[in-house]
Chain A
Amino acid sequence: MSKDKFKKGEGRISRRTFLKGAAALGGAAAWGGIPALSRTSWAQAKNPIKLGGLYDLTGPFATESEDQRRATQMVVDEYNNKGGLLGRPIEHIIRDSKLKTDEAALKAKELVEKEKVDLAIGTLGAHTVVAYNIECKKHNIPLMGICQTDDLNKMPDWGPYTFHEGFTPYMTAQAEARWIAKNLGTKWYFLIGQWAFGQQIYNSYLKFLAQNPGVTNLGKSDYPLGGTEYSMHFTKIIDAKPEVLITTGFGKDNTNQAKQMTDFGLKSKMKIFFVLTDLMMAKEAGQASIAGTYAGTHFYWEMQDTIPTAKPFVEAFWKRWGRPPTGYGGYGYGGAKELLGAVERAGALDPEKIRKQLEGRSYDNYKGKEWWRKCDHQSMQDFYVLKGREPKDAKKEWAFYDVVGKTDADESLERTCADLGFKG
């Protein structure tokens, strides 16, 4: 290269151009352009294995969905820190479904067709995961569902490479119903959210009620997902005089309900049972609001005192993110471990080989023994009942609950393979 080439103003960047470029780069960084650039160079350098992560990062379940993303990222980083998977780095490509079915379908298509992901994990909403699954099924991409839904493990929604680490609402309700009838009372009233999960839970409770005539259903009030004011339901509930109020309130619905039920004195008139809760809901509602209420869960961080595999997960999560993991973080962690572990054991990304690695397998990633039912790829695991501590008894930060009940993992809690449309 001759010196003549560098004449004044040629082959150089003027101060003004530099400033413009810097401003543009700054703007790109602010709007997420920099990760995209670094991602491209990462991809070109190492030909990564692409793990699509679709999460409901906007809306009433944003906090729990963010934990799913974080926990999945922890597993991805564990692999990348030890040299990757099959000798290749793993790239976690994240999209936000905004908890909307149409957005989930759009983002799932983007992950599958544009990003060409090899593996998929997500979501939290029972409705968004169905849209995700449709797209993954179409392209034979193994999907690890990490939410509560009755749809992923039943025909015709199920696909040969669809796996479901989360509980089904059916199992949740069956496990809880037995415990509630035995421990809290037999006159029930339901507060049911108008979304897929709420309806699936209620249908399962109805089945339990039909099989147990000693338990009475005193009525039901429906509410829309993401509501803010629940007090207007209380007059009807109080008039029905139930022993137990069973509610599907989750996310912001859960925190608003807990707060308002406390303010209106419902806790002194009946037992309150949230079919599902998680750590950050307790944090948002406040100890006084959850005190004395019961709730179902598959994982609560203080179980680390009794479950050996929970301890390293809780400690690693806490160290990285500054607080204990939520149960949904557990789903993300356990699901990602299973999916990426299956690829590692299979030595390939071939979905058929991955499937064979998972079907019927027993495992313990963070919450004790689990196993994959062979016919429908449904994870079987223990279920727990929590009770909110009184403020004076919550001595440690994040120590919101006592574990007061446990239902052991049992395939009889789930619909049979034949019920779900599987032959043989």
Chain B
Amino acid sequence: MIGGISFFSLITQLFMGLQVGLVYVLLAVGLSLIFGLMTVVNFAHGSFFMFGAYMGLFMMGLTGNFWVSLVFVPLATGLLGLVVERFTVRPLYGRDLNDPLLLTFGLSFVMVESVRLIWGTTGFPFDTPSALTGPVNLGFALFPLYRVFVIVITVLIIFLLWVFLEKTSLGLIIRGGTRDSLMVRVLGIDLSKVWFLVFGIGTGLAGIAGVLVAPMRGIHPDMGIDMLIQAFVVVVVGGMGSLKGAVIAGILIGMVVSITTLIYPMMGEVVIFISMAVVLLVRPSGLFGEEGLLE
């Protein structure tokens, strides 16, 4: 017992924090990737997350198969991201940083209202896939199998993203573009194509986060708003543009929120912002902000 809390409770709570933190990570890496390379603060990221959940619901209605949805959703949201980049974000390159920020801010409203028009203001339940229902015994607690699956698949996605960025020549260009876009262009590489692709990957990641979260929290048009705030906090704490920072900050914040909720529930949500304030006071550029995207 530590302060009236059993060891098993503490471990369970840390595991819950890890799971919730990894959801933050999944949303934050896309946001961080887009900012790191393109310096676009994508305020519509939460709406892509929401759109992913609705696309998942749509696909579930068509096929009744969660796994098909899981493959379809990142492709659909990524494709939407590509269209958005090509026709709305691209014309703003070279302009003030605030211009794409305002654009994506407006776009987020358009997306939410469009979903309201199509699917209505009332949310929908999203059934847990039958193969992943029920609890699994982790030795220290019973935990929903679906949430364990979310942990596994999130780790897998982050690993694949790391391999893509670290081990492929396209990843090398992205990393180079993040460090010094002028130098990459001098080498004869058309960075606009890379930006196009990265925006699609980032929004695809938001979409897959949406469909993964849907069985845990249901679906409604405003579901992206809260998640976007949390994702921004994670990106700021980790360091704008740092993938490693987003991963570590997401897990840390999830665990801090979880333990705070166990000890003093009222502060559970506030502690996210306290963490951000503390990090910004000590390291204004975030935990890994100075080191760039992949350091």
Contacts and interface: CB of A to CB of B under 8 A. Distances in A.
A284 B125 contact: yes
Contact of B6 (A59, A239, A284, A286): A239
B216 interface: yes
Given A228-B227, A286-B127, A235 B262 contact: yes
Interface string A259-296: 11001110000000000000010011110110000000
Contact of B125 (A223, A235, A252, A285): A285
Residue among A59, A222, A231, A233 having the largest count of chain B Cβ atoms under 10 Å:
A231
Interface string A203-239: 0000000000000000001111011110111011001
B124 interface: yes
Contacts of A62: 121, 222
Given A232-B257, A263-B144, A239 B216 contact: no
B261 A233 contact: yes
A264 B144 CA distance: 6
Contacts of B257: 232
Contacts of B141: 235
A256 B265 CA distance: 17
Residue among B5, B12, B128, B269 having the largest count of chain A Cβ atoms under 10 Å:
B269
B13 A235 contact: yes
A40 interface: no
Contacts of B135: 264-265
A97 interface: no
Interface string B206-234: 00000000001110101100110000000
Nearest to A219: B265
A223 B265 contact: yes
Contacts of B146: 263
B227 A259 contact: no
B187 to A, nearest CB: 45
Contacts of B9: 235-236, 239
A229 B124 CA distance: 17
B266 A194 contact: yes
B17 A259 contact: no
Interface residues of A, number: 35
Interface in B142-157: 142-144, 146-147
B268 interface: yes
Interface residues of B, number: 38
B20 interface: yes
B216 A63 contact: no
A263 B262 contact: no
A227 B142 CA distance: 24
A228 B217 contact: yes
B121 A288 contact: no
Interface string B81-111: 0000000000000000000000000000000
By secondary structure, the A interface counts as helix
B123 interface: yes
A297 interface: no
A208 B144 CA distance: 36
Residue among A194, A227, A235, A284 having the largest count of chain B Cβ atoms under 10 Å:
A235
B258 interface: yes
A263 B13 contact: no
A239 B261 CA distance: 14
A103 to B, nearest CB: 16
B122 A284 contact: yes
Interface string B266-295: 101100000000000000000000000000
Given A235-B12, A263-B146, A255 B123 contact: yes
Contact of B123 (A226, A232, A252): A252
A224 B269 contact: yes
The 9 closest A-B pairs by CB, nearest first: A286-B125, A221-B265, A232-B261, A284-B123, A222-B266, A263-B144, A232-B258, A224-B269, A63-B122
Given A226-B226, A231-B16, A232-B268, 7 more contacts: A228-B227, A232-B13, A233-B265, A235-B13, A239-B5, A255-B123, A260-B216
29 contacts: A62-B121, A63-B121, A63-B122, A222-B265, A223-B268, A224-B269, A228-B223, A232-B13, A232-B268, A233-B261, A235-B13, A235-B262, A236-B262, A239-B5, A239-B6, A252-B123, A256-B217, A259-B216, A260-B216, A263-B128, A263-B216, A264-B144, A265-B142, A284-B122, A284-B124, A284-B220, A286-B127, A288-B127, A289-B125
